Amino acid sequence: MQPYFLPYIGYFQLLNAVDRFVFYDDVNYINRGWVNRNRMLINSIAKHFTIPLLKASQNKLINEVEIGFQSKEYLKLQKTIEIAYKKAPYFDQVIKIVKPVLNKDYNNIAEIAIESVKVCASYLGLKTEFYVSSSDFSNSNDLNRTERILYICKQLNTKTYINAIGGIELYKKEDFKQQDIELKFIKTLPIKYKQFNNEFVPWLSILDVLMFNSAEEVNEMLDEYELI
């Protein structure tokens, strides 16, 4: 899966469903995708927050796109999060893990996205083993989309490969079955929780989920999916 910055809960359901997870950081960056942005709750409304980038292009790989550290948007992101969630019940615990992510140095957007996912996974106590495609499987990036995933699966002695639900349009179960690998897709079920006193706004960043729920409660939500 491409590394996303503070992605929605479905990303973490996928993490929790598997033993090993590969960050796909050496595939093309997608403009206006979810690699460097998501949504959080500001004054009861879903608003996008973004990691600003320098010369981002779909002709670049994710790990080639640099971050605009000096932009106003990046410098005020932490403050925006604090103002939006300072009255949330788990603000103190969550801001402690978010601040270090924003205040480290990174070479590219992939690195901060991966760090954000790993930090949240650790906070939730997930035991998933992580890999990064550019460093762990760099000799496979000349293969086509399906061939490369099959190659990585073979290297990890995979019996079952789970992809996000969007992959159902990209990958065929028959191709994987021919290599003795079962292909499944994860579908997130509706999830709802209390957000202040406003009407519930679904499918926001994991940041929102963590601010309003304990780690134990979020772990229960991680099982709210089905494999198809």
Which residue, among 192, 225, 24, 216, has the nearest Cα to 110 in the 3D structure? 24
Asked whether residue 3 is assigned to any structural domain, the reply reads no
> What is the H or E stretch that residue 40 is in?
strand 37-42
Asked whether residue 60 is assigned to any structural domain, the reply reads yes
Q: Give this prediction's pTM.
A: 0.96
Asked whether residue 26 is assigned to any structural domain, the reply reads yes
- Per DSSP, 199 falls in state P
Q: Containing domain of residue 184, as a range? A: 9-227
Asked whether residue 164 is assigned to any structural domain, the reply reads yes
Q: What is the mean pLDDT of residues 84-106?
A: 97
pLDDT digits 0-9 by tens, 131-166: 999 999 999 988 999 999 999 999 999 999 999 999
Our count of domains for the chain comes to 1
Average of per-residue pLDDT values in the chain = 96
CA-CA distance, 52 to 72, in Å (whole number)? 9
Q: What is the mean pLDDT of residues 102-121?
A: 97
Asked whether residue 129 is assigned to any structural domain, the reply reads yes
Asked whether residue 1 is assigned to any structural domain, the reply reads no
Asked whether residue 204 is assigned to any structural domain, the reply reads yes
Q: What is the mean pLDDT of residues 28-38?
A: 95
Asked whether residue 2 is assigned to any structural domain, the reply reads no
- 225: alpha, beta or left? (left if phi > 0; alpha if psi -120 to 50): beta
